Amino acid sequence: MDRQGDTTRNTTHFGFKDVPLSEKQTLVNDVFHSVASRYDLMNDLMSAGLHRAWKDIMVTTLNPPRNDRPFALLDVAGGTGDVAFRAVQASGAGFHATVCDINPDMLRVGRERAEARRLDDRVSFVEGNAEALAFPDRAFDGYTVAFGIRNVPRIDLALAEAFRVLRPGGRFLCLEFSTVDMPGLDRLYDLFSFNVIPPLGRAVTGDAESYRYLVESIRKFPRPDAFAEMIRAAGFARVSWQSLSGGIVALHSGWRL
Ligand code: SAM
């Protein structure tokens, strides 16, 4: 199965469909417009709450300072703010998170959640595209992206932008669905993905297609070693990744040195 898209024909994947590169973002935006209000509930139902543990592992790996030392995090494709809230709660008074996402509906839910948690002074929400960030060079100490990069049409541009906005010594962390590597679990996971998730999406959000895109897009995302190579190609050093939950998810890491 081709996992990269055919860049010579200027096409890419939208789930299992080949689409013109220029159309993918609009299709992705429709997905998150459709599911925004029930996005967090669906994450809990689909993963039986496991996404919380995966995000906590990312925040622990980021290791933000617990004291007053300033630390600026950029959480790209940060949607409803889940990673940013976890990072703020794990850090000291000098920490600030900027959630950047292309979808105003996801950001609206995020702002409401921040206000409800009284975290609106510690987390800012900014509309923007991962492929062309409106932030200066070397502005952030950390860059996180959770379950977001798979949706970006030109992943190489997003990685180059991640490198540009990190200060030297800054860390890049990417949590993404990966390739199940545990015999037995792979067949169960496929059965669950294709037969349970879209109907669950229909029941909870009224939209099975968006969740069919989710399970298909996971199969099209590069394998972890190939993705690590892309991170290296963007200029990052000490690139590594760890497989979580039998390969359902991988946490990728790189440093701007
Ligand atoms: N990071 C959040 C989390 O883990 O709960 C949200 C992940 S959600 C699966 C994917 C997010 O990527 C959506 O909010 C979507 O709007 C965002 N997204 C898709 N393409 C993007 C792009 N080019 N730039 C920024 N955000 C994008």
Q: Give domain status of residue 4, yes or no.
A: no
Per-residue pLDDT tens for 93-127?
Answer: 999 999 999 999 999 999 999 999 999 999 999 99
Give which of 100, 99, 130 is closest to 114, Cα–Cα.
Answer: 99
The CATH number of whichever domain residue 142 belongs to comes to 3.40.50.150
Q: Give domain status of residue 6, yes or no.
A: no
Given the DSSP bridges, would you call strands 166-177 and 95-101 parallel, antiparallel or unpaired?
A: unpaired
Whole-model pTM: value is 0.95
> What percent of the chain has pLDDT above 70?
96
Q: Are 12 and 18 in contact (CB under 8 A)?
A: yes
Instruction: Please give the pLDDT value at position 1.
Output: 43
Inform me whether the pLDDT recorded for 2 exceeds 70: no
Could you give the number of structural domains in the chain? Answer: 1
Q: Give domain status of residue 104, yes or no.
A: yes
Ligand 1 within 6 A of CB of 34: no
Q: Give domain status of residue 163, yes or no.
A: yes
Q: Give domain status of residue 182, yes or no.
A: yes
Write out the residue range of the structural domain in which residue 124 sits: 11-255
Q: Give domain status of residue 27, yes or no.
A: yes
Angle separating helix axes 197-205 and 39-47, nearest 10 degrees: 150
Instruction: Please give the pLDDT value at position 8.
Output: 54
Q: Give domain status of residue 78, yes or no.
A: yes
Q: Give domain status of residue 2, yes or no.
A: no
Query: How open is the CA angle 50-181-150, to the nearest 5 degrees?
Result: 60
Per-residue pLDDT tens for 145-200?
Answer: 999 999 999 999 999 999 999 999 999 999 999 999 888 999 999 999 999 999 99
Ligand 1 within 6 A of CB of 97: no
Q: How far is the CA of 133 from the centre of ligand 1 (A)?
A: 14
Mutate which of 23, 75, 103, 143 to test ligand 1's pocket (most atoms within 8 Å of Cβ)? 103
Per-residue pLDDT tens for 115-124?
Answer: 999 999 999 9
